[in-house]
Structure 1
Amino acid sequence: MPYDDSGWRNFGRLGANRSAENVRGGQALGAAMESALSRLIREGGIRSPVTTNRGLNARLNYLNSVAGRQAMADAGITARPRTMDKWFAGTQQPMASNKEKIDTAYWNLRAERVLNNLGAFKQHLNNRGRGTSIEIHPVNQDLVDEKARRPNLLGEQAHRMLPNVRYIWDDAVDAMRQGDSDKLEEIWDDVIADMDSDWGAYTYVSYVGIGA
């Protein structure tokens, strides 16, 4: 079925808006980038559990700074500076409850640092100029009036994979950070414009995933 612009300008007139998962593509792209950023924070962090000596020492080494001590205080650690100095030196073990707070402090500080310097995330998505793949699921039509359902958007064949999407990521990350929904929609229009004549049917989607 060719692209029918009027149908998507009047999104929801026939029931597509009854499904909460159906959103504009820019909104879905922003959510996908937030998920990818969360993965980057987690997967790039310390893998060893805080309950192991290796994991504990690695976290304490990361937290051994003014910012790290503040993160520990924010996580609820009330130990005296002298006690924490012993933790950092490896001459005294924190109690189990404080190990959990050390873990919280570590992840909070790592997330803060990544969020305050998104250059690494941009590099991650740009992938040395190769770009990143985007997976797109069309709108969920389960609640659309049956006579108005689009057969070209039904089934697995309607899921689209765009490999090596390039050139958008610096602007997209900035728009995500700034909460600029209009810019994200503009970027999304650029993404789907490279699809075939059905591109307008993906103005609204049920899911966007990023292969990063």
Structure 2
Amino acid sequence: MRNDSRSLPLTPEERWGELGLYGARGMSGGEALARQLDDRANGQLPSVNTPHGLAIRLRYLTWDSRGDQWLRGAGITATDRTIARWKDGQQRPGLANLKKIDRAFWTCRRAHLTEYYKRRLWDDGRGTHIEIHPIDQKQVESSRRRELRVRRITVRRQWAPIVDAWSSNDYAALDDLWQSIVHDLGSDHSAYSYVSHLGFGV
């Protein structure tokens, strides 16, 4: 028998029980955390497929002394001259390179925001309130639905590892951290392993 419910990763069945088998919809808490952080980093950014969105990304990626380091790290092998033409709008990258540029942008963006997010969400020890919206049960037969309500919790100590896991795209770590958060909800904490939405009170 497992003595500590947080000592090992939980399977989806352990996290949610059998309800997910009957049509409940949502995402893991770790994914929801990542989406909230991504949404805040996005700032209504245009798609990389638009000229403006592409230009924003290329300027952001090459503005400092590191030059095209982020682009090279994402696997772009185009010449410096070609990259300069992309930046000037004289040439458009192919689809594969557009995807790599977008990936490079988000890797760079997360790295730049990591320390800011840690400070902002930690808020000098006051933490940040999270509003947890439960899984969507509209497609679940009424006899199998669980009575779940919106829950609110203040997260304090976990923000540094949460942001680090988000920055490195470590969704397994985010899910584990989410389990430690919802464990404080009491006996029905497993019902909030999957959620429909999270709101941050900042």
Q: CA deviation at 1:185?
A: 0.8
In structure 2, the residue matched to 1:76 is 88
In structure 1, the residue matched to 2:162 is 172
Instruction: Write out aligned runs for 1:103-114 (5 A).
Output: 114=109
Match of 2:18 among 10, 13, 24: 10
In structure 2, the residue matched to 1:141 is 137
In structure 2, the residue matched to 1:37 is 41
CA contact (8 A) 1:135 1:161 kept: yes
**C-alpha deviations, 1:55-100, integer Å up to 9, x for none?**
xxxxxxxx997679x999754367xxxxxxxxxxxxxxxxxxxxxx
Normalized against structure 1, the TM-score is what? 0.57
In structure 1, the residue matched to 2:200 is 210
- CA gap 1:181/1:64 in 2 versus in 1, 3 angstroms: closer
**How many aligned positions are there?**
148
In structure 1, the residue matched to 2:58 is none
Match of 2:187 among 197, 209, 212: 197
- CA gap 1:135/1:72 in 2 versus in 1, 3 angstroms: farther
Q: CA deviation at 1:116?
A: 2.9
Q: CA deviation at 1:37?
A: 3.0
Instruction: Write out aligned runs for 1:39-188 (5 A).
Output: 39=43, 74-76=86-88, 114-117=109-112, 118-150=114-146, 152-153=147-148, 158-163=149-154, 165-188=155-178
Between the aligned residues of both structures, percent identity stands at 31
CA RMSD across the alignment: 3.4
Normalized against structure 2, the TM-score is what? 0.60
Q: CA deviation at 1:9?
A: 3.5
Structure 2 stretches lacking a partner, 5+ long: 1-12, 46-61, 68-79, 91-104
CA contact (8 A) 1:33 1:210 kept: no
- CA gap 1:121/1:142 in 2 versus in 1, 3 angstroms: same
CA contact (8 A) 1:36 1:210 kept: no
Structure 1 stretches lacking a partner, 5+ long: 43-62, 79-109
Q: Greater CA radius of gyration, 1 or 2?
A: 1
Runs of 4+ in 1 over 6 A off after TM superposition: 63-68, 70-73, 110-113
The letter for the 2-side match of 1:203 is S
- CA gap 1:172/1:64 in 2 versus in 1, 3 angstroms: closer
**C-alpha deviations, 1:101-131, integer Å up to 9, x for none?**
xxxxxxxxx9886533321221111111111
CA contact (8 A) 1:139 1:205 kept: yes
